[in-house]
Structure 1
């Protein structure tokens, strides 16, 4: 049997950036967008969470909707091929799902069915405002 969880998060996606050393073995996140993004993801995940953290293989879809630049063409499809990096968006979101107790650890993630960044109205899975649509399929262990 397979369970499915859908989480929709609104907010500005924040990439997991590089860390910098500030002394005494302390590292801090260099991106100021990560903390508010993780809080948004954690809050949305806690709303749909039921039961203990997932401790089984998970297949994931993450479609990030980014703000479309004002300079981008209005009447044709455009691609968000600039920063933030897609892999860094996924990493910060995975960590927030772990903090929210959705899964025991993001190592449970065995496959991405789709990992994308799009603009509003330009993809069937795009949100109407910046954020992410996450679908988790939990496989039987």
Structure 2
């Protein structure tokens, strides 16, 4: 467990990107991903549950670093069939280097954390300690990888540089 995180939240559900929009005409734009709404709702719910557990919590309002590890189920095509059913094919990729785009996953998640009151504004994030997409099959081998789809989100307060040097 990462004890120096100011807040750690585990979110269950299908992580979805934000950012791409399509036009319905008459200046009406909608999110391209139908999954972004449910994902953001899952993040808001999980974040608010954690905030309730941290009585007296007030939204972080300082420079922050974040960690987000998104876990995805492997497609069935990664597994063998017949007597090899359930075994990964040798050709199965180690990491999910496919859609959704990692930066768009972070964007949807950052906005949901703001909505939930985890921090005042996602502009406070000055860096990432970790930002990854992993398969759920890495659970137990790689920290913060879940055994089901979702994400582990950690927020860290930035330490002031020694001697007040703010370069």
Same fold (TM over 0.5): yes
Does residue 66 (structure 1) correspond to residue 82 (structure 2)? The answer is no
Q: Which has the larger radius of gyration?
A: 2
Cα displacement (A) at 1:101:
1.1
- Deviation per CA, 1:44-95, whole angstroms, max 9, x where unpaired? 0001124221101111110000111111252777110111111111010001
Q: 3-state DSSP class of the match of 2:137?
A: coil
Q: Residues 3 and 139 of structure 1 are in contact (CA less than 8 Å); yes or no, is this contact kept in structure 2? A: no
Gaps of 5+ in 2: 80-87, 161-167
Instruction: Give the count of matched residue pairs.
Output: 140
Counterpart of 2:158 in structure 1 is: 139
Q: 1:115-130 maps to which residues of 2 (within 5 A)?
A: 115-122=131-138, 123-130=142-149
Counterpart of 2:21 in structure 1 is: 19
Higher helix share: 2
Cα displacement (A) at 1:121:
3.1
Q: Residues 60 and 112 of structure 1 are in contact (CA less than 8 Å); yes or no, is this contact kept in structure 2? A: yes
- Deviation per CA, 1:110-138, whole angstroms, max 9, x where unpaired? 11001000011323321010000011112
User: TM-score, with normalisation over the residues of structure 1?
Assistant: 0.89
Q: Give the ranges of 4+ consecutive aligned residues of structure 1 lying more than 2 Å apart after TM superposition.
A: 20-27
Counterpart of 2:164 in structure 1 is: none
